[in-house]
Homo-oligomer: A and B are copies of this chain.
Amino acid sequence: MQGQNQQQAYDRGITIFSPDGRLYQVEYAREAVKRGTASIGVRTPEGVVLVVDKQTRSPLLEGSSVEKLHKIDDHVGAASAGHVADARQLVDFARQQSQVERVRYDEPIGVRTLTKSVTDHIQQYTQVGGARPFGVALLIAGVEGGEPRLFETDPSGTSNEWKAVAIGSNRGDIQEFLEDEYDADLSVDDGIDLALRALNEGREDALSGDGVGVGIVDADTGTYRELAADESQSYIDDIEDAADDSDDDDEE
């Protein structure tokens, strides 16, 4: 009871600390992230893979309009989880930063620099009053100096760089799966395969080409592109074939 009341006392104000040094509004914004469908990033030597869950509420909804994968710049893509409209704001902010950098220095923005701009923007909403934090996490994937980079931003304005990471619903299980299965020498195809299998861990329904989104930043070309639904489907089919084979193996 006491704990309950005490918590209530601190979590209403946006910009204040609790007696144990926590910022409840930021922690609740993290809950908003968990309420979103999952997004997964996998970094391989050949490039970075982003896979998002796009399962739709109604067959009449156009899956293509579900905003989970976002092109930021030629060489950077992002996947989001959480409050959809908040994600759009951060993505727009990131695009503007990229454009500004290009205009100013005539070269593509560094992925780390871009991530820092975004997280600085997020931090402001956790310290200055008059607004709530952003209820969204981003995976920012890109190529910088030929190197694939994969960053995560969270609602506190912290960023981390990952080999492979999941955000959104069911993060715990998916991340555990990634930790078990990740290999530093994956090909991009392997990376897509790993991410799709990880996503499958947290779902009841079968995966489908329409129900997922796949984005790739290629290290060689330094460009981001999203797979068409049929391309995604073929990866899913391969996984299922492999699973069948595996079942066959079991039977043998």
Contacts A35-B21, A83-B156, A160-B66 given: A116-B88 contact, CB under 8 Å? yes
The answer to whether B23 and A16 have CB atoms under 8 Å apart is no
Q: Select from chain B the residue with minimum beta-carbon distance to A18.
A: B28
Given A9-B8, A33-B21, A60-B164, CB of A127 within 8 Å of CB of B131: yes
How far is the CB of A149 from the nearest CB of chain B, in Å?
9
Q: How large is the interface on A (under 10, 10 to 19, 20 to 34, 35 or more residues)?
A: 35 or more
* B residues in contact with A125, CB < 8 Å: 127
Asked if A228 is an interface residue, CB under 8 A from chain B, the answer is: no
Assess whether A17 is in contact with B132, with CB atoms less than 8 Å apart.
yes
Q: Does A69 contact B (CB under 8 A)?
A: no
**Residues 4-60 (chain A) with a chain B CB within 8 angstroms:** 4, 6-25, 28-35, 58-60
Among B130, B132, B156, B161, point to the contact of A65 (Cβ < 8 A).
B161
Is there an interface contact between B120 and A89, defined as CB atoms closer than 8 Å? yes
Q: How far is the CB of A186 from chain B (nearest CB, A)?
A: 12
Q: Which residues of B contact A89 (CB under 8 A)?
A: 120, 123, 127
Of chain B, the residue at the smallest CB distance from A27 is: B19
Flag whether A84 is at the interface (Cβ < 8 A).
yes
Enumerate chain B residues within 8 angstroms of A85, measured Cβ to Cβ: 119-120, 122-123, 126, 156-158
Verify A14–B15 contact, CB threshold 8 A.
yes
Q: Is B14's CB under 8 angstroms from A14's CB? A: no
Measured CB to CB, the closest approach of chain B to A29, in angstroms, equals 5
User: 15 A-B Cβ contacts within 8 A?
Assistant: A2-B4, A9-B11, A15-B130, A18-B28, A19-B31, A22-B32, A60-B162, A61-B165, A62-B163, A67-B159, A84-B156, A88-B157, A89-B127, A92-B120, A129-B129
- 12 more CB-based (< 8 A) A-B contacts, given A10-B11, A85-B126, A128-B131: A6-B8, A11-B19, A20-B28, A23-B32, A58-B165, A60-B164, A60-B175, A61-B162, A61-B163, A85-B123, A88-B119, A128-B130
